[in-house]
Amino acid sequence: MTGENIKIDQEVIGLLPAAGLARRIAPLPCSKELYPIGFRAVDGERDIVPKGVCCYLLEKMRAAGVTKSYIVVREGKWDIPTYLRDGNMLDMHLAYLIMGLPFGVPYTLDQAYPFVWNALVAFGFPDILFRGDDAFVKLLRYQAASDADVILGLFPADQPEKMDMVDLGDDGRVRELVIQPRQTQLRYTWDIAVWTPIFTQFLHEYMADHKSSAATQPELSVGHVLQAAIRNGLRVEAVPVSDEPCLDIGTAEGLAKALRRFTSE
């Protein structure tokens, strides 16, 4: 099933947060989202060049018919637009926004509010690799048949103590997110999502309310906002999109695993 087979009434726009400092793996010679993992073909099959990590996520979005994406960067990470340019190499249209407040990924995402407020958003972390080329196809197909405000893409969790663990009901509805539990019986974490303008608006208003105390509070994650959305009655559902754990290349361990996996293929 290709992205063109999915009947969607609203425009779908990709949204990628790429404003992090990469402290866990510093120093690097480039932004972590561009770290070369594996290779890609250019000009058909004649030339092979290194492939930046973020390309894997963008390719999966493109496979679901997403042709437009915003990438939010911080000042100084100009190597990202220099590498990806206008998106032509991925058959996409890419645009770049500059991060405003440095208090966590939700603030980074909210920078795109004026541009995505009335669209379906396809979201993913550009420094995380995962199997499943049809992951966003599954999420958009599910969303087209659902009245959910957010659809999360689930992965088996290999390090629950570092992840958002998903408490999923039999009806596919997320009852709760358990953030970085010391112990848990839950099996799945999430890494990608599709959400409607209802969640985009909730995120925007949540950030506005949180802004006055943000500098004195622990850094917010997207999981914290999803938790708040669930508690405020938004419908958050989830569907498995891969039978393998995802790989966070923002850690030395994750980067080493990714290099072994993707350079041997």
Give the CATH number of the domain where residue 250 resides.
3.90.550.10
Above 50 in pLDDT, residue 1? no
pLDDT, tens digit (0-9, with 9 covering 90-100), for 94-133? 999 999 999 999 999 999 999 999 999 999 999 999 999 9
Would you say residue 4 lies in a domain? no
Residues 6 or more apart whose Cβ sits within 8 Å of residue 90: 55, 58, 59, 62, 84
pTM of the model: 0.92
Task: Give the domain extent around 129.
Answer: 10-262
pLDDT bracket for residue 264 (50, 70, 90):
low
Would you say residue 238 lies in a domain? yes
Would you say residue 93 lies in a domain? yes
Would you say residue 64 lies in a domain? yes
Would you say residue 178 lies in a domain? yes
pLDDT bracket for residue 261 (50, 70, 90):
confident
The structure tokens 């250019």 sit at 42
pLDDT, tens digit (0-9, with 9 covering 90-100), for 170-216? 999 999 999 999 999 999 999 999 999 999 999 999 999 999 998 89
Would you say residue 97 lies in a domain? yes
CA–CA dist 2, 67 (Å, integer) = 13
Would you say residue 2 lies in a domain? no
- Work out how many domains the chain is built from and give that number: 1
